[in-house]
Amino acid sequence: EPEVTQTPSHQVTQMGQEVILRCVPISNHLYFYWYRQILGQKVEFLVSFYNNEISEKSEIFDDQFSVERPDGSNFTLKIRSTKLEDSAMYFCASSAGQGQPQHFGDGTRLSIL
Amino acid sequence: SQKIEQNSEALNIQEGKTATLTCNYTNYSPAYLQWYRQDPGRGPVFLLLIRENEKEKRKERLKVTFDTTLKQSLFHITASQPADSATYLCAQPYGGSQGNLIFGKGTKLSVKP
């Protein structure tokens, strides 16, 4: 069964540095998402992406965040100047259509020191 | 603001019994609800989607109901097994979004042999 893959599985970065989290969504899916989950807390929506542009973003997704689909298969989340509170699991998801089940990757654990 | 709540943080049951998990929502009537399973250190895995015009949905040992009057969904696992032990998440679309999900905090189910 096709799956969403995310790399790296764990990223350790110094505060203030830039990180790029990578995702390969399921190939025939059209909608892409990033969520995060701080340890012990809820899964929180960050951003959705459709037709090569951001369709919606949450309050968490401020100017330090950006997303890109550089080559038709990868979907990336960039955090420009990381803060301690950015430490979390970041999940990528994709879906075939609006309101359809979302398929999640196993996440990247981001640790900011 | 839109809220989705799973009242029980944890549920412990004996193998073979039926597990019933509750999800309540407020301030918004979603067009559908989704249920996911999350294992430690893994991404959510889609289980079932139920639309507002559906009272009940089944898949193997899983059953979900949607009561728009009570603003509640119940998720049942019949003949539970230790392998069913995981955290189960309820999710609804955020407002008029294109499928961006708001998740509950989850109920951690433990099935004892």
The two structure tokens encoding residue B63: 């059953």
For all residues of chain B together, what is the average pLDDT?
A: 92
Question: What is the model's pLDDT at position A29?
Answer: 94
Other C-beta atoms lying within 10 Å of the C-beta of residue A42:
18
Task: Give the contacts of B95 (CB within 8 A, at least 6 positions apart).
Answer: B2, B28
Taking CA A108 as the corner, what is the angle to CA A105 and CA B1, rounded to the nearest 5 degrees?
A: 75
CB A105 within 8 A of CB A5: yes
Please determine, for residue B26, whether its predicted confidence score (pLDDT) is greater than 90.
no
Please determine, for residue B2, whether its predicted confidence score (pLDDT) is greater than 80.
no
Tell me the C-alpha distance between A113 and A73, whole Å.
Answer: 31
A52 CA to centre of own chain: 15
Residue of B nearest to A100 (CA): B99
Buried b (16+ CB within 10 A) or exposed e, B72-85: bbbbbbeebeeebb
C-alpha distance from residue A31 to each of A11, A54, B16 (Å): 25, 10, 39
Please determine, for residue B111, whether its predicted confidence score (pLDDT) is greater than 80.
yes
How many contacts (CB atoms, under 8 Å) link A and B? 66
Question: What is the model's pLDDT at position B97?
Answer: 66
Encode chain A (113 residues) as per-residue pLDDT tens digits: 779 999 999 999 999 999 999 999 999 999 999 999 999 999 999 999 999 999 999 999 999 999 999 887 899 999 999 999 999 999 999 999 988 999 999 999 999 99
Instruction: Quick: pLDDT tens for B7-18.
Output: 888 999 999 999
Question: What is the model's pLDDT at position B36?
Answer: 98
Please determine, for residue B94, whether its predicted confidence score (pLDDT) is greater than 90.
no
Report the half-sphere exposure of B75 (CA within 13 A, side-chain side). Answer: 28
Question: What is the model's pLDDT at position B96?
Answer: 63
The alpha carbon of residue A42 is apart from the nearest alpha carbon of chain B, in Å, by 5
Please determine, for residue B27, whether its predicted confidence score (pLDDT) is greater than 80.
no
Question: What is the model's pLDDT at position B98?
Answer: 59
Considering only the beta carbons, identify the residue of B34, B94, B104 that sits closest to A101: B34
B29 CA to centre of own chain: 16
Residue of B nearest to A33 (CA): B100
Question: What is the model's pLDDT at position B31?
Answer: 86
- Give the mutation candidate from A10, A29, A33, A43 for the B interface (greatest B CB count, under 10 A): A43
The two structure tokens encoding residue B45: 């895995």
- For range B33-52, the mean pLDDT: 95
